[in-house]
Chains A and B, each alone.
Chain A
Amino acid sequence: MNESDSVRDSAIAATALGGEVPVDVEAAYRRFKGGPLAKAGTPRWLLPVAAMATAAAFACAFVFTPLGGYASAFLTIFQPREFQPITLSTADMHQLRLFRNADEIGTQRVVMKPRRTYFSSVSAAQKHVAFALREPGVLPSGFGIVHSYFVFSPGALSLTFNAARAQAFARRSHKTLPPMPPSLNGTTVMLRSGDVFNAHYETGKNGRFFELIEMQAPRVTSTGASLQTLKRYVLAMPKISPALASQIQALGANSIPVPVNIDKQHAQHVSVDGVQGLAIGDNTGLGAGVLWQKDGIMYVVGGPLSMTDVLTVANGLR
């Protein structure tokens, strides 16, 4: 082929395939967020992954609610050593969402915002993490091509309980809330998270991936109210089912509560990495995850994998 042929081919292609396409990105984004495509088809394997994320950042999801207020104080008086599932129905989950906005009962502040940084290798990430990172010694079949590593810097969130605000919310929303105990009014609970390492592994095709999270156990402090005070306040909340209340009552002194939706997931204690961990599986079998704590570090492995693969990765960390 000579040069003129090549020029002619390019010209034909440019004529046939060229042209500008005006795009209104804002309108496109509104369409995307409001349309069915963005909402439909959440894969079932995301459910246990979401559970893992909830557990890994359990304080964020739990602490800054009245229920979490209980968890906060709970954590001030012990060092968590194990994960304990709290089984909730879908209806329970919906009820708990009523209390998700901490601003309804107090004032929350982001005292220190964690910053996420990407690294190309574990050794590079290690220089920015205050504990020894571990990597999978064994990867499931097909993995090993694409890895991404992230480090989250320490962060801190606070919630100061405010009885007047809670009463105003109750009036505004026509809800009946229990009176806030005087010792709780004005109490500030603060969650401080340490370094968090997140390794993302994927096959590079088929959308298969899994996550490994390693983090220092978060610390929660309280400026006033006792555990018992917080506990009574939480359990007096409306819509807390008797089954949920009894599970909260029964939580062990060294347990981290992990919410599990029994309509979609199942949880069981397993032996992992030489200690007891909590395995959570999607009821469809499409996804699984396991959480455990060892030597002061919390670990999570999860993704659209079989439980066997997840446990193989978890037990092979080195």
Chain B
Amino acid sequence: MSLAQAVPNRFEDLFAREYPRVVSVAYRITRDSADAEDVAQEVFAQFVRMRRASDANAPAWLHVAAIHVALNGLRSQRRRRDREGRAAQPGGALHSTAGAANPEQLIEQNFDRECVRRALVRLAQKDAEILALRYGGLSYREIADAMHIDAAQIGTRLARAERAFRRELEHERI
């Protein structure tokens, strides 16, 4: 392999390649496809202001930025609800969810989604990151690049994050 490595320098190429993955990562946190797309749009807007498409670590930056923007969005929603006195009840507003056969099912799905969101917000940041990256479809290698950790540690860290997530989820559903 030559020392020289051609680097794709067109933003469009990066967008086409990474946008679906950024949406996928964000969706793990938002649990809403429209919200996930909003997050992805925001992330790419930040990217063009701060980075270059040719940066070798551009995908890693995008993936982590998606998590931060999504989590920040959830936290700001939570603060807003706190201010409005509607914080305690999960699933304040109902979102139409594909596959919901009746109102009861819709309510249940929204409750589940809100529980997941709240559990993720309560997790340590690194735990939320590794869960979103893994279930967003990234490989161990890509997760290692995004989180700046050794790929050999991913399995252990992921198991720890899944355990913490399960506990938080159980807490939310009580």
Contact = CB atoms under 8 A, between A and B. Distances in A.
B131 A13 contact: yes
B166 interface: yes
A9 B163 contact: yes
Given A16-B169, A38-B45, A38-B48, A116 B54 contact: yes
A102 to B, nearest CB: 22
B9 A9 contact: no
Nearest to A27: B37
Interface residues of A, number: 43
B135 A207 contact: no
Contact of B166 (A9, A148, A200): A9
Given A37-B45, A42-B49, A118-B7, A23 B166 contact: no
Interface in B89-115: 112
Interface in A1-54: 1, 5-6, 8-10, 12-14, 16-19, 21-23, 25, 28-29, 31-32, 35, 37-38, 40-43, 46
Interface in A81-140: 115-120, 124, 127-128
A146 B56 CA distance: 10
A1 B163 contact: yes
Interface in B58-95: none
B6 A25 contact: no
A258 B58 CA distance: 32
Contacts of B159: 6, 9-10
Contacts of B51: 207
B19 A18 contact: no
Contact of A21 (B7, B36, B132): B36
A180 to B, nearest CB: 36
A161 interface: no
A131 to B, nearest CB: 18
B174 interface: no
B interface, over-half SS: helix
Say which size band chain B's interface belongs to: 35 or more
B144 to A, nearest CB: 16
B166 A117 contact: no
Contact of A9 (B12, B45, B52, B165): B165
Contacts of B28: 17
A183 to B, nearest CB: 39
Given A9-B159, A16-B116, A124-B3, A32 B165 contact: no
Interface of B: 3-7, 9, 12, 15-16, 19-20, 23-24, 27-28, 33, 36-37, 40-42, 44-45, 48-52, 54-57, 112, 116, 119, 131-132, 135, 159, 162-163, 165-166, 169
17 contacts: A6-B159, A6-B163, A14-B135, A25-B15, A25-B20, A28-B41, A29-B12, A31-B41, A37-B42, A40-B45, A117-B7, A118-B7, A119-B3, A119-B5, A146-B57, A150-B7, A150-B54
